[in-house]
Amino acid sequence: MDERTYTADATPDDTVTVAGWVHELRDLGGIAFLIVRDTTGKIQVKLEKDEMDEELVETGLDVTRESVVKIVGDVKEEPRAPTDVEIVPTAIEVVAEAETQLPLDPSGKVDAELPTRLDNRTLDVRRGESKAIFEIRSTVLRAVREAFRSFGASEITTPKIVATGTEGGTELFPITYFGEEAFMNQSPQLFKQLMVGSGLERVFEVGPIFRAEEHNTPRHLNEATSIDFESAFFDHTEAMDVCEAIVKAAYEAVAENCTDELETLGIDDFEVPDEAFPRLTYEEAIERINATGELDEQLVWGDDLPTEGEHALGQAVGEHYFITDWPAEIKPFYIKDHDDDETLSTGFDMMHPRMELVSGGQREHRFDQLVEGFEQQGLDPEEFDYYTKMFKYGMPPHAGWAIGGERLIATMLGLDNIREAVLFPRDRQRLSP
Ligand code: ATP
Ligand code: MG
């Protein structure tokens, strides 16, 4: 491609070629301004009708909004222009013309409903707010990768097509694999555990998880991005320490690198959490929820925490907090129970007042107990032989967790639906685009 200058880099007295989209045409009579937008911003291109080449002016006046154009010209200082500079063009080329009827208005002047925006993501992510979310998402993913590496974890990728699900059962999407039934993986849980027993010891993965959840809520997707961590020789408290550090690193990176994006989103009170995340036991959590009086019925030991209860607790405890020591019976089989009390699990959740962000725990690494756990959960340990057998060959104690990437971003930015943080969401209504 020909050399091209980003609009943000256009410096007075330079002759440049810029390329981008026609954001707007402002025709003031004798003079008109073509506003050209690229990934770095916008620039004003001046068209003086009586003074410039007629054909050039005509091309500029006729081009439709959102067409791709290439402009060659001289950059001039112009204090009245939005960016203090403008281009006086010597050539305007329409590279790809856009139809006059657009399914949504990328300038954002006309609001569009979320389904329309999702159907036309290309145009939607030309909008400043949408683009800002995905720039922030990119920053978050980079920050968590760097933070994991600073903890000595190796990045892995594990299969998404599997013979059996992590927890078996209902939330699996079946597929046909060369004539046999297979599934889309609902979590890298078992694979990441297998790797703590390998020479890698400490691993992380950022990748898709697939959940055939029937419900349609603002916090569930059928394909989500899971940020997973697992480490050998860790207990659940050490896993929580890393979890807290990773979440804080994501916030810090956004505060440091995304000031423009936060401004575009109208977020002027972005705060990096600086206090330690409170750690409440499940027992304390139900007592505190009951004390808020927000629930019609008091919770008793063994109940799952209802969403209203989590909200109420969040108001009282803060933005991020852990709930630890869950009843063993409501946590999955691969989570280890406390050695001194087998009714209590080492599982933990990290909560935000709006939704659960993380589940984790120390894992059961003892072969006999693990196999027993499968049976208790109604699963056939034989089907998981590829996993359980490795526990016979020296599997260290280990712990880890998973955070939903979209939930992290949605709570960080106060987005009311996690679909805002996914380019092409998969849900009950959406399989395309
Ligand atoms: P929930 O109870 O909120 O449905 P979960 O307990 O079923 O979540 P886990 O299996 O613990 O979810 O998965 C770990 C994390 O992955 C969750 O805390 C959440 O952040 C994220 N996650 C799980 N399922 C989904 C989903 N369907 N859509 C988006 N994120 C999800
Ligand atoms: Mg969970």
Please name the residue whose Cα sits nearest to atom 9 of ligand 1: 359
273 and 380 fall within a common domain:
yes
pLDDT of residue 169: 66
Please name the residue whose Cα sits nearest to atom 30 of ligand 1: 404
The ligand minimizing its distance to the Cα of 221 is 1
pLDDT in tens, 22-72: 999 999 999 999 999 999 999 999 999 999 999 999 999 999 999 999 999
pLDDT of residue 315: 86
271 and 335 fall within a common domain:
yes
Instruction: Report the run of H or E that residue 147 belongs to, with start and end.
Output: helix 128-150
| Position 131 pLDDT exceeds 70 | yes
Give the model's confidence band at 20: pLDDT under 50 very low, under 70 low, under 90 confident, else very high.
very high
| pLDDT, mean of residues 105-125 | 95
For ligand 2, a single-atom ion, the residues with CB < 5 A are 359
Q: Which of 359, 409, 418, 427 to mutate to test the pocket of ligand 1 (most atoms within 8 A of CB)?
A: 359
239 and 174 fall within a common domain:
yes
Q: Which residues contact 101 (CB under 8 A, 6 or more apart)?
A: none
87 and 130 fall within a common domain:
no
Nearest alpha carbon to residue 422 among 399, 405, 400: 405
Nearest-10 crossing angle of helices 282-292, 307-317: 90
350 and 208 fall within a common domain:
yes
Give the count of beta carbons closer than 10 Å to the beta carbon of residue 265.
Answer: 19
pLDDT of residue 312: 87
| Position 8 pLDDT exceeds 70 | yes
Domain carrying residue 234: 122-278+319-421
Residue 17 domain-assigned? yes
- Domain harbouring 25, CATH code: 2.40.50.140
Q: How far is CA 165 from CA 194, 253, 383, in A?
A: 15, 34, 10
16 and 53 fall within a common domain:
yes
- Domain harbouring 411, CATH code: 3.30.930.10
Ligand 1 nearest atom to the CA of residue 350, by list position:
18
Q: How far is CA 4 from CA 16, 22, 91, 371, 373, in A?
A: 7, 16, 14, 61, 61
Q: How far is CA 350 from CA 75, 125, 309, in A?
A: 52, 31, 14
Identify the weakest region by mean pLDDT among 115-124, 136-145, 373-382.
373-382
Q: Which residues are catalytic?
A: 211, 213, 219-220, 356, 359, 407
Residue 205 domain-assigned? yes
213 and 327 fall within a common domain:
yes
Q: Which of 170, 356, 411 to mutate to test the pocket of ligand 1 (most atoms within 8 A of CB)?
A: 356
Pocket lining: 357 vs ligand 1, CB cutoff 6 Å: yes
85 and 154 fall within a common domain:
no
Q: Which of 189, 226, 303 to mutate to test the pocket of ligand 1 (most atoms within 8 A of CB)?
A: 226
Pocket lining: 362 vs ligand 1, CB cutoff 6 Å: no
- Taking the C-alpha atoms of residue 193 and residue 33, their distance in angstroms, rounded to an integer, is 59
pLDDT of residue 164: 84
Q: How many domains does the chain have?
A: 2
133 and 64 fall within a common domain:
no
- Taking the C-alpha atoms of residue 49 and residue 277, their distance in angstroms, rounded to an integer, is 62
208 and 89 fall within a common domain:
no
Residue 301 domain-assigned? no
- Taking the C-alpha atoms of residue 428 and residue 221, their distance in angstroms, rounded to an integer, is 9
- Taking the C-alpha atoms of residue 52 and residue 50, their distance in angstroms, rounded to an integer, is 6
Verdict on whether the full-model pTM lies above 0.85:
yes
Nearest alpha carbon to residue 138 among 225, 210, 203, 211: 225
